[in-house]
Amino acid sequence: MKCTLWMALFAILLTGCKKSAEKTVQAAEAPAVRASILAVAARPFTSSVPVTGTLVSRTRVEVKAETTGRVIAFAKEEGDRVRAGELLLQVKKDDLELAVRQAASGVQVAEAGVARAKVLARHAQLELERAQNLIHSGGITDKDYKLAIVTEQDARSQVSVADAQAAQARAALDVARKKLADTSVHAPVDGEIQKKSVNVGGYVEPSTPVATLVDNNRLELEATLPSSELAQVRSGMTVEFGVNSFPGERFRGTVVEMGPAVDAESRSAKLRVRVPNPGGKLKAGMFADGRALTGVTSSAIVIPASALYRDEKNPGEAAVFVVEGGKAVRRKVTLARERDGQVEIAAGLKDGDRLIAEQSIELADGVRVETREGGNVSQ
């Protein structure tokens, strides 16, 4: 009986040892997590805040018609460059050309009248001088002398009337010429046609907008940034941005003015950025998305944001996994600034740490890690 009991106990112990050994073997043989590794090293890091806005021209002119009539020609198209004084459009001018010819004829008639009046006035003056000589010798009656005086005065008045009529005719000619000139609308400044407001066949009146000119060599970015970031930005800082028309290409400008107030609804502040455009690629009206570069740290620990396990309750805290002794080790880190998918780490990492660069649901403290460094797998 005792022998049977001892044999049963021995069998139970043997079974337990066998299962424990199997678990140890299974743990030892559990597959390692494969991961890409980055060697942590301090490097310069530029901090920034997001800005968005629209490019505008510092030279923007709305060209308006100065006469009434139908547009018969538009010499330029939207996007065309023009020089100051260059013809933009032509309004029908047939009737006005006739009016100029008639006014010019009126000037000729009036000036001929002036010439005749002056001839008569000169003749009357000579007659008066002769009468003055004769009156002293009794060669002319008082009545004839007085008639000579009245005739001379009347002749001089006729010259004044003729001069006034000629001046009136010349003024009418100037008006007619001005109206004719107004049928041709010219560019007041150098620039580019951003918008045509009328087309051939359209009817215009004085002050009717016909085109908008902008100078794309004098661009500014009218931008906004979150009010929470306002204290970090000041005049003179560089703004780096991109536009949809040139994906992947970056442009730069300089902050020249900060808005005086924060918009209560959007919680954003305004700023103006002076933008050089030597290549002429940028155009007024383009939407820009970029960042104001607020500072450069000469030596910072910077890692990909994809390596972070963030703490939703505490945005400034997060964790990463590093490799120590071939195993994953979870480590808390303190975040500083973030830009373009890169995060500056204020505390928790140091030069030489081997960072697991990508998140994985298989990672946990103590898990074996097979690392891929430089395209090779090592353990």
Kindly state whether residues 219 and 271 are assigned to the same domain: yes
Q: What is the pLDDT of residue 346?
A: 85
Please indicate, yes or no, if residue 309 is contained in any of the structural domains.
yes
User: Residue 360: which of 323, 309, 304 has the closest Cα?
Assistant: 309
User: Residue 361 — pLDDT band, cuts 50, 70, 90?
Assistant: low
User: Residue 249 — pLDDT band, cuts 50, 70, 90?
Assistant: very high
Where do runs of H (alpha helix) occur along the chain? 2-28, 94-137, 142-182
pLDDT at 243 over 90: yes
Share of the chain above pLDDT 70, in %: 89
Mean pLDDT of the chain: 84
* pLDDT tens digits, one per residue of 2-49: 444 434 444 444 455 444 444 444 434 557 787 788 888 888 887 788
User: Residue 1 — pLDDT band, cuts 50, 70, 90?
Assistant: very low
User: Residue 377 — pLDDT band, cuts 50, 70, 90?
Assistant: very low
- Here the CATH number for the domain that contains residue 125 is 1.10.287
User: Residue 72: which of 206, 193, 203 has the closest Cα?
Assistant: 203
Q: Is the dihedral of CA 358, 362, 364, 370 positive or negative?
A: negative
Please indicate, yes or no, if residue 5 is contained in any of the structural domains.
no
Residue where a domain terminates, one of 297, 320, 346: 297
Kindly state whether residues 100 and 148 are assigned to the same domain: yes
Which tokens sit at 354?
Answer: 């081997």
Kindly state whether residues 113 and 146 are assigned to the same domain: yes
Please indicate, yes or no, if residue 25 is contained in any of the structural domains.
no
Q: What is the pLDDT of residue 360?
A: 73
Kindly state whether residues 53 and 107 are assigned to the same domain: no
Number of domains in the chain: 4
Q: From CA 322, how far away is CA 36, in angstroms rounded? A: 11
pLDDT at 95 over 50: yes
Please indicate, yes or no, if residue 6 is contained in any of the structural domains.
no
Parent domain of 227: 49-58+215-297
- Here the CATH number for the domain that contains residue 84 is 2.40.50.100
Q: From CA 173, how far away is CA 302, in angstroms rounded? A: 78
Which tokens sit at 95?
Answer: 């009737």
User: Residue 199 — pLDDT band, cuts 50, 70, 90?
Assistant: very high
Q: What is the pLDDT of residue 315?
A: 67
Q: What is the pLDDT of residue 118?
A: 92
Residues 6+ positions from 195 with CB-CB distance below 8 Å: 78, 211, 212
Kindly state whether residues 268 and 308 are assigned to the same domain: no
Kindly state whether residues 254 and 310 are assigned to the same domain: no
pTM of the model: 0.58
pLDDT at 209 over 60: yes
Kindly state whether residues 172 and 104 are assigned to the same domain: yes
- Here the CATH number for the domain that contains residue 362 is 2.40.420.20
Q: What is the mean pLDDT of residues 226-246?
A: 89
Residue where a domain terminates, one of 258, 278, 297: 297
Q: What is the pLDDT of residue 13?
A: 42
Please indicate, yes or no, if residue 14 is contained in any of the structural domains.
no
Say how far residue 65 (Cα) sits from the centre of its chain.
27
Q: What is the pLDDT of residue 338?
A: 75
Q: From CA 251, how far away is CA 242, in angstroms rounded? A: 6
User: Residue 148: which of 120, 124, 121 has the closest Cα?
Assistant: 124
Kindly state whether residues 221 and 283 are assigned to the same domain: yes
Say how far residue 52 (Cα) sits from the centre of its chain.
11
Residue 299 burial by Cβ neighbours in a 10 Å radius (0-12, 13-18, 19+): exposed
* pLDDT tens digits, one per residue of 102-157: 999 999 999 998 999 899 989 989 988 888 888 877 788 888 888 888 998 998 99
Which tokens sit at 336?
Answer: 């500083």
Kindly state whether residues 210 and 231 are assigned to the same domain: no
Please indicate, yes or no, if residue 359 is contained in any of the structural domains.
yes
Residue where a domain terminates, one of 232, 262, 297: 297
Q: What is the pLDDT of residue 20?
A: 46
- Here the CATH number for the domain that contains residue 260 is 2.40.30.170
Kindly state whether residues 230 and 290 are assigned to the same domain: yes
Kindly state whether residues 174 and 99 are assigned to the same domain: yes
Please indicate, yes or no, if residue 12 is contained in any of the structural domains.
no
Please indicate, yes or no, if residue 18 is contained in any of the structural domains.
no
| Structural contact between residues 189 and 215, judged by C-beta atoms closer than 8 angstroms | yes
pLDDT at 371 over 90: no
Residues 6+ positions from 354 with CB-CB distance below 8 Å: 37, 38, 39, 40, 322, 323, 324, 371
Q: What is the pLDDT of residue 316?
A: 65
Share of the chain above pLDDT 90, in %: 42
pLDDT at 262 over 60: yes
The strand pairing partners of 329, in sequence order, are 322
Residues 6+ positions from 211 with CB-CB distance below 8 Å: 62, 63, 76, 88, 89, 185, 193, 195, 196, 197, 198
Q: What is the pLDDT of residue 230?
A: 82
Kindly state whether residues 131 and 152 are assigned to the same domain: yes
